[in-house]
C-alpha cells in the first residue's frame, strides 16, 4: 500500500504566512469596544483584568490595524477621534452579536425572569394602553418591571446606547436608519370641543370648522401641521389663537374655553372624557404609530416577548371602542 503526501511549496507556505499576518485579530474588537466605552486606558484595563501596559500595547495594535489614533490626548484625559466615534456603535453591536452567537441557547423562563425594561412612549400611550400591558406582564413575568419615559423627540440615540429598550411613535426622517419598526396602529385625527360648545348646535361644515378659534399642538412650535395642510387646497386657514406642545395641554384649554382642537383619537381617549368629539369635515391623513427597537435586541428572547406584549395590548385596545 502506497501513501502519497502533498507537500506545500515554499511559495504556498509564504502565502499562508502572509494571509495570517494580514488577517485582523478579532480579539481586538472586544478591547476596542471597552476602550471606546470607557475612554480611558486605565479604566479599560481594570474592566478587562489587564495591566495598563498590556492595554497600552493593545491600543497601539488597534491604531496600527485601523490606521487611526482612535483616542487622542486632550489635557489630562483622552477624547475619541472622528473615526472612533464612527466605529463605536458598529463595534458594540458586533461584540454583542458575537457574544449572543457563542452563548448557549436557553428557554425563556418568564416566571423567573427579573429585568427592568425602559420604554419611551408618546403622549397618551400609558394612559390608554399601559394598564393592559402591565396586566399581562405582571401575570406572565412577575419579576419584570417597566419604566416609562416621555418621548420629547424622535432622536434614536437612546435606542442606540441601550438606555431605552423600546419606543413607540411615528417613524420620521430623524429616525435612525438602522432602527427596526413594526406598525402598532393607525390613528385618525378628530375634532374636540367642550360640552355645550356653540359649534355643536348645527352640522359642522368645513367653513364652520375653519372659522372656529383653534389651539394647535406642535412639540416644535411649528406654524403649520397636518390639519393646516389639509385645509390649504380649500383656500382656508384656521384661526389659531394658541400653540402648545402637548395634547393634554390643548385639551385642558379646550375644556375651559370655546377653543377647538384636532387630536389623534385613540391616544387622547381618556383625556377627552366628558367633551364633545366629532369627525373632521376634511380629509386629514391618518398617522401610523409604530414600535421601535435597535436591531441588536432582535434575538433577545425576553425583548421579543415584551414586543409581543406591547403589540397585543395595543391590538386589544384598538378593537375596543375608545
CA separation, residue 275 to residues 53, 100, 196, 247 (Å): 69, 51, 9, 14
Residues of the chain with pLDDT under 50: 1-6, 8, 10-12, 14, 16-21, 321-322
So what's the pLDDT on residue 263? 94
Cα distance between residue 27 and residue 42, in whole Å: 19
The DSSP annotation for 256-321 comes to TSS-EEEEETGGGTTTTTTSEEEE-SS-PPPEEEEEEE-GGGTT-HHHHHHHHHHHHHHHHHHHS-
pLDDT tens, position by position, 279-305: 999 999 998 999 999 988 988 999 999
So what's the pLDDT on residue 190? 94
What H or E segment, with its residue span, contains residue 15?
A: helix 10-22
Cα distance between residue 272 and residue 255, in whole Å: 9
So what's the pLDDT on residue 90? 81
What per-residue string of b and e applies to 32-64 under the rule 16 or more CB within 10 Å gives b? bbbbbbbebbeebbeeeebeeeebeebbebbee
Q: How many CA atoms lie within 13 A of 94 on its CB side?
A: 14
So what's the pLDDT on residue 135? 96
Domains, the chain = 10-102 (1.10.10.10), 115-187+288-319 (3.40.190.10), 189-285 (3.40.190.10)
**Does residue 144 sit in helix, strand or coil?**
strand
What H or E segment, with its residue span, contains residue 137?
A: helix 131-140
Cα distance between residue 232 and residue 18, in whole Å: 68
So what's the pLDDT on residue 214? 95
So what's the pLDDT on residue 105? 57
Cα distance between residue 292 and residue 271, in whole Å: 25
So what's the pLDDT on residue 25? 78
For 209, the grid coordinates are 370648522
For residues 84 and 70, the answer to whether their CB atoms sit within 8 Å is: yes
What H or E segment, with its residue span, contains residue 241?
A: strand 239-244
So what's the pLDDT on residue 320? 56
So what's the pLDDT on residue 17? 47
So what's the pLDDT on residue 1? 43
In terms of phi and psi (left: phi > 0; alpha: psi -120 to 50; beta: otherwise), the region of 103 is: beta
So what's the pLDDT on residue 307? 96
Amino acid at each position: 500500500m502506497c501513501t502519497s503526501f502533498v507537500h506545500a511549496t515554499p511559495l504556498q507556505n509564504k502565502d499562508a504566512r502572509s494571509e495570517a499576518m494580514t488577517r485582523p485579530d478579532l480579539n481586538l474588537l472586544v478591547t476596542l469596544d471597552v476602550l471606546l466605552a470607557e475612554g480611558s486606558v486605565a479604566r479599560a484595563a481594570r474592566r478587562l483584568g489587564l495591566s495598563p501596559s498590556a492595554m497600552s500595547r493593545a491600543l497601539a495594535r488597534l491604531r496600527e490595524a485601523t490606521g487611526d489614533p482612535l483616542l487622542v490626548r486632550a489635557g489630562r484625559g483622552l477624547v475619541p477621534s472622528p473615526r472612533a466615534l464612527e466605529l463605536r456603535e458598529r463595534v458594540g453591536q458586533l461584540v454583542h452579536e458575537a457574544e449572543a452567537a457563542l452563548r448557549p441557547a436557553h428557554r425563556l423562563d418568564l416566571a423567573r425572569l427579573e429585568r427592568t425594561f425602559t420604554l419611551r412612549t408618546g403622549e397618551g400611550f400609558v394612559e390608554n394602553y399601559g394598564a393592559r400591558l402591565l396586566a399581562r406582564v405582571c401575570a406572565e413575568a412577575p419579576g419584570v418591571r417597566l419604566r416609562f419615559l416621555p418621548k420629547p423627540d424622535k432622536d434614536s440615540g437612546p435606542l442606540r446606547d441601550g438606555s431605552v429598550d423600546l419606543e413607540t411613535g411615528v417613524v420620521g426622517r430623524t429616525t435612525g436608519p438602522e432602527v427596526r419598526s413594526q406598525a402598532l396602529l393607525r390613528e385618525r385625527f378628530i375634532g374636540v370641543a367642550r360640552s355645550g360648545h356653540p359649534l355643536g348646535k348645527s352640522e359642522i361644515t368645513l367653513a364652520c370648522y375653519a372659522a372656529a378659534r383653534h389651539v394647535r399642538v406642535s412639540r416644535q412650535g411649528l406654524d403649520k401641521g397636518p390639519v393646516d395642510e389639509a385645509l390649504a387646497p380649500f383656500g382656508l386657514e384656521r384661526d389659531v389663537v394658541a400653540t402648545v406642545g402637548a395634547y393634554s395641554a390643548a385639551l385642558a384649554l379646550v375644556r375651559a374655553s370655546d377653543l377647538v382642537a384636532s387630536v389623534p383619537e385613540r391616544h387622547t381617549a381618556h383625556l377627552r372624557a366628558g367633551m364633545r368629539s366629532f369627525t373632521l369635515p376634511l380629509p386629514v391623513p391618518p398617522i401610523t404609530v409604530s414600535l421601535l427597537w435597535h436591531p441588536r435586541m432582535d434575538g433577545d428572547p425576553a425583548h421579543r416577548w415584551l414586543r409581543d406584549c406591547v403589540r397585543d395590548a395595543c391590538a386589544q385596545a384598538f378593537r375596543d371602542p375608545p
